[in-house]
C-alpha cells in the first residue's frame, strides 16, 4: 500500500481514506477538519494542500505527499502564495466578516504556481453567523481550482448549511504507546529525555493525553515542571490518606499547599489533579484494563489502590469536590484546607 501522510501520527483510517480519495480524484472541494487541540489538524491540512499539488502525486513509488518536490518544499517553507491562511483579525475573539470578504475577493484569482489554491480557515468554529453566511455562497460554488479546509475544535458550532457542504474529517487522540514511540522519532529532545529520565518521559506522555502538540510543548522543562510538581503533591496526598500518618505530617503537608489569595487558581488546579488521581485508583478497583489519566505506571496505581476500599476512595472524591465548591465560593483558604484535611480523616 502506498504510504500517505506518514508524518501525521495516528489517525490511520483517516489517512487511508484521504489517500484513496486523492488517488481516485474524489477529494471534495471543502472539508471540516475537527479535533481536539494538538491532534494534528494543522499538519493534516498542510499535507492535504501538498498532496493536491505534489508533482509526484500519481507516482506509486513516492509517498503522498512526497515532501521533496519543488511544490511540496515551497508549501512546507511557507512561501507559497497559493496556500492562504484565514485567521481572526488582531484582538478579535471571533472570526468576523472582514477576513471572509477578503477571501471572497481573492478566491477568483487563479493559482500562482500550484495546481490548487488552498484556503486554511483557522478556528472556523469561532466564525460569527454573519461570517458563515457570507462564506456560504463561495462555499457552494467555488472555482474548480479551490480547496477549503476549515479547522475547528468542534464542527457542531458551524451552521448546518456550512457543514452540509463540507464533509467532516475528525482527527483523534493518539494512543499513548504510539505517542511515546513516535515522539522520539520526530524530536531529538524527546529521545534524549527518554534515555536520561525514562520515568519523567512516561509522565510527559501521560500528561499529553494523546495530543502530539501538547507533548511537543511539554518538552520545554519550564512548561513541564509545574505539572510534574502538582502530580507529586497529588501522590503525597493519596499516600498520606492511605497511611494515616501523624497530625504533624498532615500539618506539614497542609502548610506546603498554596494559601495566599493570589494562589487560589493554583490550589484549584491541585484539587483537580487530586481528583484525577483518585479516579484512577477507583478505576483500578473496578477493572484491570482501565485507561488511566493520571498514573503512567499502572503497577504503581494498582499497588496504591489496594490500600483503600472503594467506599474510602468515593468518600475522598467527595471531600475534594466539596473543597472545590468552597474554593469557588471564595472561602477562606486556610479554614478550607483544615476542613478538607478533617473530612479526609487526616486530622
Burial level of 262, CB count in 10 A (0-12/13-18/19+)? exposed
- Helix axis angle for 188-196 and 198-208, nearest 10°, is 130
DSSP state for residue 25 in the 8-state scheme: T
Given a contact cutoff of 8 angstroms between Cβ atoms, the answer to whether 43 and 169 are in contact is: no
The CATH class, in words, for 12-170 is alpha beta
Count of Cβ atoms closer than 10 Å to residue 113 Cβ: 11
Whole-angstrom distance, CA of residue 283 vs CA of residue 305 = 9
Dihedral, CA of residue 46, residue 49, residue 51 and residue 56, to nearest 10? -110
Whole-angstrom distance, CA of residue 252 vs CA of residue 257 = 9
pLDDT at 59: 83
Query: Pick from 288, 268, 280, 283: which is nearest to 328 by CA?
Result: 268
Whole-angstrom distance, CA of residue 291 vs CA of residue 315 = 22
Pick the CATH number of 228-343 from 1.10.3470, 1.20.272, 1.10.620, 1.10.287: 1.20.272
The pairing of strands 30-34 and 83-86 is unpaired
Give buried/exposed letters for 225-234 (b at 16+ CB in 10 A, else e): eeeeebbebb
What cell was used for 338?
483544615
pLDDT at 239: 93
pLDDT at 338: 92
pLDDT at 121: 95
* Segments of the chain assigned to CATH 3.40.50.300: 12-170
Given a contact cutoff of 8 angstroms between Cβ atoms, the answer to whether 204 and 219 are in contact is: yes
* Segments of the chain assigned to CATH 1.20.272: 228-343
Query: Pick from 279, 304, 305, 303: which is nearest to 292 by CA?
Result: 279
Could you report the per-residue pLDDT of 6-52, keeping only the tens digit for each?
888 888 888 888 888 888 888 899 999 999 888 889 999 999 999 99
DSSP state for residue 7 in the 8-state scheme: T
Low-confidence ranges of the chain (pLDDT < 50): none
pLDDT at 1: 57
Whole-angstrom distance, CA of residue 256 vs CA of residue 130 = 51
User: Which pTM value belongs to this model?
Assistant: 0.82
Amino acid at each position: 500500500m502506498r504510504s500517505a501522510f506518514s508524518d501525521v501520527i495516528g489517525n490511520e483510517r483517516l489517512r487511508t481514506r484521504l489517500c484513496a480519495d486523492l488517488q481516485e480524484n474524489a477529494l471534495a472541494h471543502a472539508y471540516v477538519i475537527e479535533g481536539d487541540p494538538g491532534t494534528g489538524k494543522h499538519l493534516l491540512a498542510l499535507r492535504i494542500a501538498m498532496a493536491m499539488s505534489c508533482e509526484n502525486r500519481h507516482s506509486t513509488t513516492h509517498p503522498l505527499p512526497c515532501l521533496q518536490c519543488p511544490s511540496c518544499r515551497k508549501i512546507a517553507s511557507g512561501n507559497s502564495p497559493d496556500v492562504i491562511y484565514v485567521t481572526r483579525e488582531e484582538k478579535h475573539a471571533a472570526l468576523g466578516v472582514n477576513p471572509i470578504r477578503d477571501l471572497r475577493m481573492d478566491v477568483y484569482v487563479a493559482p500562482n504556481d500550484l495546481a490548487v489554491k488552498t484556503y486554511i480557515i483557522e478556528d472556523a468554529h469561532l466564525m460569527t453567523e454573519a461570517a458563515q453566511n457570507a462564506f456560504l455562497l463561495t462555499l457552494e460554488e467555488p472555482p474548480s481550482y479551490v480547496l477549503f479546509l476549515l479547522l475547528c475544535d468542534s464542527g457542531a458550532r458551524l451552521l448546518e448549511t456550512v457543514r452540509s457542504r463540507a464533509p467532516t474529517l475528525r482527527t483523534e487522540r493518539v494512543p499513548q504507546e504510539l505517542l511515546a514511540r513516535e515522539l522520539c522519532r520526530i524530536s531529538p529532545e524527546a529521545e534524549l529525555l527518554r534515555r536520561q529520565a525514562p520515568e519523567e518521559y512516561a509522565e510527559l506522555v501521560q500528561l499529553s493525553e494523546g495530543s502530539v502538540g501538547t507533548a511537543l510543548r511539554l518538552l520545554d522543562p519550564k512548561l513541564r515542571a509545574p505539572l510534574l510538581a502538582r502530580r507529586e503533591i497529588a501522590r503525597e496526598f493519596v499516600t498520606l490518606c492511605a497511611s494515616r500518618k501523624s497530625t504533624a505530617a498532615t500539618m506539614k503537608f497542609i502548610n506546603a499547599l498554596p494559601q495566599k489569595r493570589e494562589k487560589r487558581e493554583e490550589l484549584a488546579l491541585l484539587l483537580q489533579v487530586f481528583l484525577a488521581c483518585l479516579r484512577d485508583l477507583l478505576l483500578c478497583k473496578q477493572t484491570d484494563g482501565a485507561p488511566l489519566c493520571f498514573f503512567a505506571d499502572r503497577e504503581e496505581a494498582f499497588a496504591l489502590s489496594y490500600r483503600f476500599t472503594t467506599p474510602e476512595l468515593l468518600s475522598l472524591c467527595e471531600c475534594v469536590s466539596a473543597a472545590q465548591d468552597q474554593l469557588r465560593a471564595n472561602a477562606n483558604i486556610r479554614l478550607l484546607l483544615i476542613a478538607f484535611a478533617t473530612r479526609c480523616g487526616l486530622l
